[in-house]
Amino acid sequence: MQVSVPKQIVPLDSILPDEPLLMMGAGPVPVPARVAAANGIVINHLGDTMAQIIEQVKIMSRYVFQTQNGYILGVAGPGSAAMEMAVANLVVPGSKVLSICNGFFSHRLAEMALRLEADVVKLEVAQGFTADLDVVEQYLIQHRPQVMTIVQGETSNTVCNHNLAAITKLAKQYDCLVIVDAVCTLSTMPLDMDEWGIDAVITGGQKGLSCIPGISLVGFSEQAWQLIQSRTDQLRHWCLDAKLAEQFWYKKSYHYTAPVSGILAIHEAMRLIINETLPVRFDRHLRCSQALQAGIEALGLQLFVKPHNRLNSVVGIEVPDGIDAKAVLKYMSSRYRVEISGSFGPNIVRIGQMGEQCRAHNLFRTLHALGASFISMGCKLDLPAGVAALESTLDRYEFPPEQHLSAVNAIK
Ligand SMILES: *Cc1c(COP(=O)(O)O)cnc(C)c1O
């Protein structure tokens, strides 16, 4: 025994704040109490109880992904593990991949395909813009890729590919499988896996689903599943091999010890989604995000992305010249106990609008903290005007419950 007992370790209680900070950044996001409680439970990963839970997770996932017959697999790992699972199983080494690159996370998908020795063509979209349908078509014609990768929402610079449905349908016309990263957007805005012809949808726990980090899901289309089953080459990733994961997710047997607590947590997160229903949840997200955006602009700050290309799930705010973004974030968290995100890339700060972040009381607290913190750094902002715009926009969207119901029925 050469290493002695460490003396400097203090209990968690003396590290964590007495009251949790309000997590209003680009993820992880606050989790509902039921999700937190489920995450505290450990059960046998192979028993009947687990089998029943897995069945329900698959059924609920098909609703959230909007797929009748898609193959749902869970992953013990971050959203990036789900990205890598989709890429590793659908990209055959040496094949051609078209990666639509809007920012940091879409480049990560391209990087993963490159590491699998795919022939990767990147379509670099200008900062702040949605991918252009005509340009995508030119690339499809010129390069004839077997697989396309794309993000629905690019969390890093708050751009949204609002024309995703048109892009995925186009790719189908050119016999190209489509992998969509919906980590921040799933259940915050429409995504229709079957209808749009998506072959792999990726999501992580800690963003749109309002669950914990470290548990993720991938949904594969029937066509994608056929490709997976027909591959004769050995996959480079053992943990992420869909055929091995099928053992646990469809055959009640062992692949690796599943992250049982995380699966229980995601079960509860999805149960809350099905109770709320997708249309009502999309409304809540749109209403809250638009009210927040109106409030930020009325404060006197600028949003980073033009409305046409803007992501609602994560809102990017330009940092005025001469202001130190890191100092603003630090002040917000120490004085107001609200955490938002900085950025890697453009000079912006980001406020998440995913899951539990989209609650009016969280918005008032966050907008006030944001405005007051910028003002304390010397910015000239109109805090009362910001809060008033937040309130009036929220009210404008407030419609009675019957209307929510008719929205639900219209979708059925
Ligand atoms: C956060 C995020 C990821 C990566 O998720 P991790 O859990 O951090 O690995 C991928 N894509 C998008 C769009 C994201 O927002």
The tens digit of pLDDT for each residue in 297-341 reads 999 999 999 999 999 999 999 999 999 999 999 999 999 999 999
Using the mean position of ligand 1's atoms as its centre, give its distance from the Cα of residue 123 in Å: 20
Which residues are known binding-site members for substrate?
350
78 pocket-lining for ligand 1 (C-beta < 6 Å)? yes
Model confidence at 399, in pLDDT bands (50, 70, 90)?
Answer: low
Q: 23, 154, 181, 202: which to mutate for ligand 1, most atoms within 8 A of CB? A: 181
Q: For 22-27+277-411, give the CATH class.
A: alpha beta
Q: 99, 101, 104, 105: which to mutate for ligand 1, most atoms within 8 A of CB? A: 105
Other beta carbons within 10 angstroms of residue 300's beta carbon come to 17
Using the mean position of ligand 1's atoms as its centre, give its distance from the Cα of residue 183 in Å: 6
Residues 188-219: pLDDT tens digits? Answer: 999 999 999 999 999 999 999 999 999 999 99
Using the mean position of ligand 1's atoms as its centre, give its distance from the Cα of residue 220 in Å: 18
Distance CA 366, CA 328 (A): 13
pLDDT score of 284 more than 90: yes
Residue 408: per-residue pLDDT = 42
Model confidence at 412, in pLDDT bands (50, 70, 90)?
Answer: very low
Q: What is the C-alpha end-to-end distance of the chain, expressed in Å? A: 66
Which residues are known binding-site members?
350
Residue 81 alpha carbon, nearest atom of ligand 1: 9
Q: In the Cβ-directed half-sphere of 246, how many Cα atoms lie within 13 Å?
A: 11
pLDDT score of 149 more than 80: yes
Residue 182 alpha carbon, nearest atom of ligand 1: 13
Distance CA 325, CA 323 (A): 6
pLDDT score of 405 more than 60: no
Q: What is the dihedral of CA 45, 50, 51, 53, to 10 degrees?
A: -140
- The CATH number, out of the four listed (3.60.20.30, 3.40.640.10, 3.30.70.890, 3.40.50.2300), of the domain defined by the range 33-275: 3.40.640.10
**Domain residue spans in the chain?**
22-27+277-411, 33-275
**What's the mean pLDDT in 214-235?**
97
Q: pTM of the predicted model, to two decimals? A: 0.95
Using the mean position of ligand 1's atoms as its centre, give its distance from the Cα of residue 203 in Å: 8
Using the mean position of ligand 1's atoms as its centre, give its distance from the Cα of residue 184 in Å: 7
282 pocket-lining for ligand 1 (C-beta < 6 Å)? no
186 pocket-lining for ligand 1 (C-beta < 6 Å)? no
183 pocket-lining for ligand 1 (C-beta < 6 Å)? yes
**What's the mean pLDDT in 238-244?**
98
Question: Whose CA is closest to 56, among 211, 254, 273?
Answer: 273
403 contact partners, CB below 8 Å, separation of at least 6: none
For residues 402 and 94, which has the higher predicted lDDT (pLDDT)? 94
Residues 338-395: pLDDT tens digits? Answer: 999 999 889 999 999 999 999 999 999 999 999 999 999 999 999 999 999 999 999 9
Q: Over the chain, what is the mean pLDDT?
A: 95
Using the mean position of ligand 1's atoms as its centre, give its distance from the Cα of residue 158 in Å: 13
Residues 13-46: pLDDT tens digits? Answer: 999 998 889 999 999 999 999 999 999 999 999 9
Residue 314 alpha carbon, nearest atom of ligand 1: 15
Residue 411: per-residue pLDDT = 39
Distance CA 27, CA 139 (A): 33
**What's the mean pLDDT in 220-244?**
97
Residue 387: per-residue pLDDT = 98
